[in-house]
Structure 1
Amino acid sequence: MNASRPRVLAQEDFDRFAVLSRDDNPIHCDPAFARATHFGATVAHGMLLFSLLCAQIRRSIPRPVLPIAQTLMFPRPTFVGDGVTAALVLQDAPGPGRIALDTSIRCVQRGRERITNAEEQVTAHGAAMLLADATADLLAMMRPAPLDQDGMARVPAVDASLYHLSIGQEASAARTFGVDDTDEYVSLTDDSNPFYTDPVFARSRGFDGAIVPLPLLAGMFSDLLGTRLPGRGTGWMKQSLRLCSAARLGEPLTASVRVTRLRADKELVNLATVVSGGDGRVVLQGEALVLVRNLENKGARGAV
């Protein structure tokens, strides 16, 4: 599959995604704060980059597909002013009705300078799983069993505390997405997947109407991680996502994050991440790895 055309990311893009996701982490939105960090400039939200991958999936695959899983690593920051492309590589099918992709965001231009070093280009990479000819029944059949959150971190905690953080600390936030949120998402990212934008199409596939885009659901984690736990200044290093059930527009949702591992020597934190529906079912689950080197207030108590 081909890469997308380059897109130069502006501060306006970061600010719009901050409003959409409610993640106004200063590493994304405050140029003065960001200049004082090891980044040196504002950097893109991880889920903004994920949404560009989803847009390229929609453009590259002729039939409607539903993203149901994604892993992402962010080996290098994507800075304001960078020109980036979203690239997809088709992998062997893992089973009937599924499509597997290697995904990456590559920085091809920084300011007026073209970047040609292949290693330096990649600022995000991972793997995606899609459902072809997806229906509500098929999604339910393929839904993984809920994770044992107490066992999500398969390696032991190295430290009992780090700054104001401790094992088991939690934060949560409630939100309901509407048509205006989807419209802004499509306008910003160009991901006009009909599962998200066409209620008639979505109903024809057994859903209750248009469903919430996966990057918006995951953006609830971005909000919590970047503003409450660990807090403002947090940098996303890795995220895994598994869609367990569709969230309909207008449905009350609750996102929760919980600290599962601390590594003080590297200033890294692992967290379990879950979005639940209004009826208590698991909608989205996964795990985050974040860097807390640039926390705005390292001594404050985390939100609960």
Structure 2
Amino acid sequence: MKFRQIQYFFSQYQIGQLFKLETKFTEEDVKIYANLIKDFNPIHVDEQIASKSVFKQRVVHGILSSGLFSTLVGTNFPGAIYLEQSLYFKAPIFFEEQILAQVLIQDIKLIKGKSILKLDTTIFKLQQKIAITGEAKILIN
């Protein structure tokens, strides 16, 4: 009689683990990003036009800010593959504003010997006000 060997995968990651990055975006960061992706929306690059907007000043591109989630995944989950990311923009992020990006492991599923991690993704402004929130799924090789 042959017994099938069952292989258990013990992940170095656990539900509830939290990874953080504190930073701010400068005017130069926004200029470089705008030139890279060719998004010259005046709300980001024109101080005079932005001063007449609902925000009364220029704001950092939302996708540039949310790129911090990719930074956190890439540095804390080496070799991970991004599968999904939802984003909800709750408040603007201004130039030189200190922000805190974080990813929290919400769930881990094993599929065909691979780990799929579900992450809560959030960027906070001062006083814990949420600027961006969402969820991501990543594949751990």
Same fold, TM-score > 0.5, yes or no? yes
Please give the alpha-carbon distance, in whole angstroms, between the structure 2 residues aligned to 1:206 and 1:237.
Answer: 34
SS in 1 for 2:137: strand
How many angstroms does 1:208 deviate by? Answer: 4.0
Distance 2:26 2:136 in 1: 26
> Which residue of 1 is the match for residue 37 of structure 2?
189
Deviation (angstroms), 1:164? 0.5
Once residues 216 and 286 of structure 1 are traced to their aligned partners in structure 2, the CA distance between those partners, rounded to angstroms, is: 15
Partner of 1:236: 82
Q: 1:262 and 1:281 mapped to 2: Cα distance?
A: 28
For residue 162 of structure 1, report the CA deviation from its aligned partner. Answer: 4.9
Query: In structure 2, how many angstroms separate the alpha carbons of the residues matched to 1:274 and 1:162?
Result: 27
Quick one: distance in 2 between partners of 1:252 and 1:260? 25
| Partner of residue 51 from structure 2, selected from 190, 197, 203 | 203
- Provide TM-score, normalisation by structure 2: 0.88
2:96 matched residue in structure 1: 250
Give the whole-Å Cα distance in 2 for the aligned partners of 1:249 and 1:192.
Answer: 16
- Give the 3-state SS of the residue equivalent to 2:86 in structure 1: strand
Matched ranges for 1:164-175 at <5 A: 164-175=12-23
The alpha carbon displacement at 1:193 in A equals 1.4
In structure 2, distance between residues paired with 1:236 and 1:212: 23
Partners of 1:275 and 1:254 lie apart in 2 by 5
Specify whether residues 264 and 194 from structure 1 end up closer, same or farther in structure 2 by C-alpha distance, changes over 3 A only: same
Please give the alpha-carbon distance, in whole angstroms, between the structure 1 residues aligned to 2:130 and 2:47: 22
RMSD: 1.3
Larger relative contact order (Cα-Cα within 8 Å, sequence gap ≥ 6): 2
Report sequence identity in percent: 27
Map 1:284-303 → 2, pairs under 5 A: 284-293=132-141
List gaps (5 residues or longer) in structure 2.
1-8
Secondary structure of residue in 2 paired with 1:185:
helix
1:272 aligns with 2:117: no
| Separation in 1, partners of 2:41, 2:11 | 41
Unaligned ranges ≥5, structure 1: 1-160, 294-304
Deviation string, structure 1 residues 196-251 (Cα, Å, up to 9, x no partner): 111222220131411010111111101101112xx221111000000000011110
TM-score for both structures, normalised by structure 1: 0.42
1:291 CA drift (Å): 0.8
Match of residue 3 from structure 2: none
Count of matched residue positions in the alignment of Structure 1 and Structure 2: 131
- The separation in 1 between residues aligned to 2:97 and 2:10, in whole angstroms, is 36
Establish whether residue 221 from structure 1 lines up as the match of residue 69 from structure 2: yes
Match of 2:6 in 1: none
Amino acid at match of 2:116: L
CA contact (8 A) 1:162 1:262 kept: no
Q: 1:195 to 1:223 in 2, by over 3 A?
A: same
109, 113, 130: which is aligned to 1:263? 109
Whether the 8 Å contact between 1:162 and 1:263 is mirrored in structure 2 is no
